[in-house]
Amino acid sequence: MRILLVEDEERLANTIARGLRREGMAVDVVLDGRSALTKASVNSYDVVVLDRNLPGVHGDEVCRELVARRSLARILMLTAAGSIQDRVTGLDLGADDYLPKPFALKELVARIRALGRRAVAPVPPVLTFADLTLDPARHVVERAGQDLGLTKKEFGVLQVLLAAQGRVVSAEELLEKVWDENTDPFTNVVRVTIMTLRRKIGDPPIIETVPGVGYKI
């Protein structure tokens, strides 16, 4: 899942980003509203975590613009303004959820995951293929009942491939959905992750390489 975090307090932004990355999310961070609109115009995000009181372009205007663009990203407003009227205003602007500060990181993660499930076509809560199962809630992948012990990135790649339901997924799409903008687009990290993932999954193999196109289950 790829997240755009828009928060003008840099220390808080970095703390939140670290917490979300520990949960296996790819996170891009910007500190003002104008940069948020620029990032959202060139990248595809599942969820935008948006502070309201932003410099440059106010968070309310960012929300309005994203809704006007018919962005597929879900918007979670994260702000110190926590009165009922503030929440109503944020939701009326088109936000999908609203979480006042201070907040618990566990709740933020749960809300982001809930919104992420709504950002794309619905998929089963547990993904399966043959004797392999992937449970996003428990963050567990098993084959024939045996835990495969995947890393967060391996788990993310397999989740994207299983959710594609046989569609070919390009390396660029995997890089966009599982990693963040700090990853070199010319790196071989996707190929290496696929290689280790195949080794852990074992035989018979389930990940097929489509030469020049990408990967599929």
What residue spans define the domains of the chain?
Answer: 2-118, 127-216
Evaluate whether 158 touches 169 at the Cβ level (below 8 Å).
Answer: no
- Structurally, what CATH architecture does the domain formed by 2-118 represent? 3-Layer(aba) Sandwich (3.40)
pLDDT number for residue 187:
73
pLDDT number for residue 136:
82
- Regions of the chain short of the pLDDT cut 70: 81-90, 118-124, 181-186
pLDDT number for residue 154:
94
Radius of gyration of the CA atoms of the chain, in A: 18
DSSP, res 44: -
Hunting for tokens 């567990």 — which residue is that?
140
Q: Which two three-digit tokens encode residue 198?
A: 């195949």
pLDDT number for residue 126:
84
CA 74 to chain centre: 11
How would you classify residue 190: left for phi > 0, otherwise alpha for psi between -120 and 50, otherwise beta? alpha
- What class, spelled out in words, does domain 127-216 have in CATH? mainly alpha
pLDDT number for residue 48:
96
